[in-house]
């Protein structure tokens, strides 16, 4: 019986899956897609600076009031949620740093961008999924875009060097020119493009600084340059453009009299700790030594009013963060403005992120314009986990299993795109046989019923 159920399920899968390497629908009917991320662009950064180009995008397309990032509100984890549609505990890129609690290796952000086994942890990002379905994709500096997944690499990718200058506006324009060539001459269908600003400036000078405002103007000029380039490349009517980001930014209370400092906590000793990941903004992880978990937890749980320390299994489920083998038995986060100091108190940054994703300063932007998007629409806030389903819909590809729902962002699309001008055979949103491939609806329904019934028997 079991075997029969498996066989039926397999034949069902074969009927539903597009043939390997064959595009889901005819060339020509699919528009191209460019996803751009400006790191650390807080949702309200356009409220105290003139941003004519971002404003024009909202008038001509769709704007979200704000977008709620995943938790932890960190660069690599949040970028990976955008391209997998999974919460962080389900994709496994739980930190900007690669770490190994056995041999104590910790690698910084940039080095981690190149560590294949950190990224390729069971989830297949959209580039690879699209390629498997016959599309060509590219990643320009986008976190996670420069490693192999299950042996496959992104068609064209670029990785920044270790000492990359993230704020060079001339280079930004050159990178846009390259991406335009990828979309036209190289025939790519999907490109993700990453800029390290206004994050770097927000960290260094703080989110309320004039330097941050100047950088937002630079971002806005770049959006103008990008949209001009799209027009000059003849892509205006065949390219959907999304501009978004990974998280916001908040001011660090550097001079507070109540800093969160582990080296000052009474009864806490690093001698009880096997592995620690502290001094990384407001997020911390600890692996206590054998038999020391209870002791360390008791000492830390009320150690500081701005610090929230949890055993892994008690971490709030709403964060969708702790349920992953990579997360240590104790983890913590601090209140907005407070960062966690470990063995020493050193803090250069005036701005930080990583905080609770419900804190308004952690919210970020989402804008979209192009042939499949409605015009002049402002939508209510949503979680970034839903963006992936929208990307798959726009590309007409079958998504991988994920935590998002197409129905959340579908209202952004024009009626034509919505009613099957883009033929995504997504079983989650559409019911009925209209979108089932190739004239076998009855056969498929029959197999489905049989598989479900047989499955119940075992
Ligand atoms: C962690 O380090 C240990 C010891 O070097 C090694 O055996 C293990 O494979 C590493 N784990 C990962 C996930 O890299
Ligand atoms: C994910 O990484 C962890 C170690 O960090 C490893 O134990 C596990 O096998 C990996 N899973 C997959 C599917 O790669
Ligand atoms: C990473 O990017 C470089 C260019 O910056 C490229 O030559 C290389 O092929 C890429 N590697 C992968 C695995 O994508
Ligand atoms: C903190 O104190 C230093 C020196 O006393 C001062 O220069 C700085 O402006 C203060 N920072 C904030 C954010 O208040
Ligand atoms: C530290 O430990 C001592 C001895 O067990 C205890 O009396 C004291 O209350 C503890 N202090 C804190 C802040 O937990
Ligand atoms: Zn970031």
Domains in the chain: boundaries = 2-12+433-456, 31-249+357-422, 260-348
Q: Which ligand is nearest to the CA of 206?
A: 4
- How many Å is the Cα radius of gyration of the chain? 23
Note the pLDDT of residue 415: 80
Query: Of the given ranges (86-100, 212-226, 297-311, 436-450), which has the lowest mean pLDDT?
Result: 436-450
Across the chain, what does the average pLDDT equal?
89
Grouping H, G, I as helix, E, B as strand and the rest as coil, residue 307 is strand
Q: Which ligand is nearest to the CA of 353?
A: 6
Query: Of the given ranges (111-125, 247-261, 440-454), which has the lowest mean pLDDT?
Result: 440-454
Note the pLDDT of residue 100: 98
Q: Which tens digit of pLDDT belongs to each residue from 197-241?
A: 999 999 999 999 999 999 999 999 999 999 999 999 999 999 999
Please report the atom of ligand 2 found closest to the CA of residue 326: 5
- Burial code (b: 16+ CB inside 10 Å, e: under 16) for 175-205 equals bbebbbebbeeeebbbbbbbbbbbbbbbbeb
Q: Which tens digit of pLDDT belongs to each residue from 343-361?
A: 999 889 999 999 999 999 9
Domains 31-249+357-422 and 260-348 share a fold: no
> For the whole model, what pTM was predicted?
0.87
Angle at 386 between CA 383 and CA 390, to 5 degrees: 140
What is the pLDDT averaged over residues 315-340?
Answer: 98
The tokens for 127 are 């580039």
Note the pLDDT of residue 423: 52
Options 3.40.718.10, 3.40.50.261, 3.40.50.150, 3.30.1360.180; which CATH number does 260-348 get? 3.30.1360.180
Which position among 68, 75, 81, 192 bears the catalytic label?
75
Q: Which CATH class is domain 31-249+357-422?
A: alpha beta
CA distances from 295 to 54, 267, 269 (A): 52, 10, 10
Give the whole-angstrom CA distance, residue 141 versus residue 228: 22
Q: Which ligand is nearest to the CA of 244?
A: 6
Per-residue pLDDT band for 14 (boundaries 50, 70, 90) equals very low
Q: Which residue's CA is the nearest one to ligand 4's atom 3?
A: 255
What is the pLDDT averaged over residues 33-42?
Answer: 98
Q: How far is the CA of 267 from the centre of ligand 5 (A)?
A: 6
What is the pLDDT averaged over residues 111-128?
Answer: 98
Substitution candidate for ligand 1 out of 102, 104, 119 with most atoms within 8 A of CB: 102
Substitution candidate for ligand 5 out of 266, 272, 303 with most atoms within 8 A of CB: 266
- Is 75 in the active site? yes
CB of 96 within 8 A of CB of 76? yes
H or E segment and range at residue 445: helix 441-457
Return phi, psi of residue 366, to 5°: -150, 120
Give the whole-angstrom CA distance, residue 87 versus residue 321: 7
Q: Which tens digit of pLDDT belongs to each residue from 396-450?
A: 999 999 999 999 999 999 987 766 556 544 433 323 233 333 334 444 444 444 4
pLDDT at 23 exceeding the cut of 80:
no
Note the pLDDT of residue 420: 55
Give the whole-angstrom CA distance, residue 15 versus residue 441: 10
Note the pLDDT of residue 366: 98
Q: Which tens digit of pLDDT belongs to each residue from 149-172?
A: 999 999 999 999 999 999 999 999
206: left (phi over 0), alpha (psi -120 to 50) or beta: left
pLDDT at 452 exceeding the cut of 60:
no
Note the pLDDT of residue 50: 98
Please report the atom of ligand 3 found closest to the CA of residue 160: 5
The tokens for 129 are 């999924």
pLDDT at 184 exceeding the cut of 80:
yes
């Amino acid at each position: 019986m079991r075997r029969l159920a498996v066989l039926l399920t397999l034949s069902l899968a074969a009927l539903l899956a597009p043939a390997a390497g064959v595009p889901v629908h005819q060339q020509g009917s699919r528009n191209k897609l460019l996803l751009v991320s400006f790191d650390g662009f807080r949702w309200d950064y356009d409220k105290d600076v003139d941003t004519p180009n971002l404003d024009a995008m909202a008038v001509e397309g769709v704007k979200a009031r704000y977008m709620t990032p995943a938790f932890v509100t960190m660069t690599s984890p949040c970028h990976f949620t955008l391209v997998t549609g999974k919460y962080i505990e389900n994709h496994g890129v739980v930190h900007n740093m690669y770490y190994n609690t056995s041999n104590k290796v910790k690698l910084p952000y940039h080095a981690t961008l190149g560590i294949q086994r950190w990224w390729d942890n069971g989830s297949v990002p959209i580039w690879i999924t699209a390629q498997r379905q016959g599309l060509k994709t590219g990643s320009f500096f986008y976190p996670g875009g420069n490693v192999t997944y299950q042996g496959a690499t992104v068609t064209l990718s670029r990785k920044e060097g270790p000492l990359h200058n993230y704020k060079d506006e001339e280079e930004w324009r050159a990178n846009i020119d390259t991406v335009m060539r990828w979309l036209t001459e190289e025939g790519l269908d999907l490109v993700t493009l990453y800029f390290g600003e206004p994050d770097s400036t927000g960290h260094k000078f703080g989110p309320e600084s004039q330097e941050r405002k100047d950088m937002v103007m630079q971002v806005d000029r770049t959006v103008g340059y990008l949209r001009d380039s799209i027009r000059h490349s003849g892509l205006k009517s065949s390219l959907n453009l999304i501009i978004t980001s990974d998280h916001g930014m908040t001011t660090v209370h550097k001079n507070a009299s109540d800093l969160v400092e582990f080296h000052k906590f009474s009864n806490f000793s690093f001698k009880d700790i096997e592995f620690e990941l502290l001094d990384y903004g407001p997020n911390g992880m600890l692996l206590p030594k054998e038999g020391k978990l209870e002791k360390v937890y008791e000492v830390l749980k009320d150690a500081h009013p701005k610090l929230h320390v949890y055993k892994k299994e008690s971490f709030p489920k709403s964060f969708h963060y702790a349920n992953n083998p990579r997360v240590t038995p104790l983890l913590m986060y601090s209140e907005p403005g407070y960062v966690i100091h470990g063995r020493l108190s050193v803090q250069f940054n005036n701005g930080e992120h990583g905080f609770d994703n419900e804190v308004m300063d952690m919210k970020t932007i989402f804008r979209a314009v192009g042939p499949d998007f409605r015009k002049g629409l402002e939508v209510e806030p949503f979680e970034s986990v839903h963006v992936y389903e929208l990307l798959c819909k726009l590309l007409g590809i079958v998504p991988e299993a994920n935590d998002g729902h197409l129905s959340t962002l579908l209202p952004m699309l024009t009626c034509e795109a919505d009613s099957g001008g883009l033929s995504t055979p997504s079983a989650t949103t559409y019911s009925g046989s209209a979108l089932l491939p190739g004239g076998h609806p009855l056969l498929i329904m029959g197999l489905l019923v049989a598989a479900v019934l047989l499955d119940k028997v075992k």
